[in-house]
Amino acid sequence: MNTKDGFRVPAALGKLLGMLPRRPGSHLFVTGLNLALAPHLPIDTCAMLEGRKLRIDVADAGLRFDYTWHANAFRAADHGGLTPDLTIRADVWDYHRLIQRGEDPDTLFFSRRLVMEGDTELGLLVKNTLDAIDMETLRPSRVLANLVSGSRARLRGVAG
């Protein structure tokens, strides 16, 4: 469904997606984070993320991705019913606009289309870290190129 603000997942589809098991989706989500984002995180940010319970909530799609940062990588997590340290909630379209840098996170926050719940300091750390990263490095074509070149380098190391 399209709205003046962009695409919105139809309610019936969101309800159906919300019934899916969370763990497999979280594994896929952290795989993407580890390929695209993790190599660009500053060391001090990694230290502050260590062991923190994080959640991305895609409100209109009924999806939640629970994860943590541990041993230099994002890991899917089951928070065991505990409240995450930080939950970021928005609709699919708003996440898309953030990733494309078509919308400023502060604008979405103050218009209540992006909600952060939990540790305010952690929320600011995440926001400022993402703001500082060149989004060009996160484009799928760039991520795949880096993945392929890294695989070739590892293969040369094994063969050499």
Question: What are 77-122's pLDDT values in tens digits?
Answer: 998 889 999 999 999 999 888 888 888 888 988 999 999 999 999 9
Domain contains 150: no
Domain contains 78: yes
Provide the pLDDT confidence category of residue 2 given band limits of 50, 70 and 90: very low
Provide the pLDDT confidence category of residue 143 given band limits of 50, 70 and 90: confident
Domain contains 154: no
CB atoms within 10 A of CB 133: 14
Q: Which residues of 7-38 are buried (b: 16+ CB within 10 A; e: fewer)?
A: ebbeeeebeeeeeeebeebbeebbeebebbbe
Domain contains 107: yes
Q: What is the pLDDT of residue 3?
A: 44
Domain contains 160: no
CB under 8 A, 24+ apart: contacts of 29-32: 29/56, 29/65, 29/67, 29/76, 30/65, 30/67, 30/73, 30/74, 30/75, 30/76
Domain count, the chain: 1
Backbone angles phi, psi at 62, to 5 degrees: 70, 25
* CATH number where 30 lies: 3.30.1050.10
Domain contains 138: no
Domain contains 53: yes
Q: Which domain holds residue 48?
A: 2-133
Domain contains 54: yes
Cβ atoms of 45 and 62 within 8 Å: the answer is no
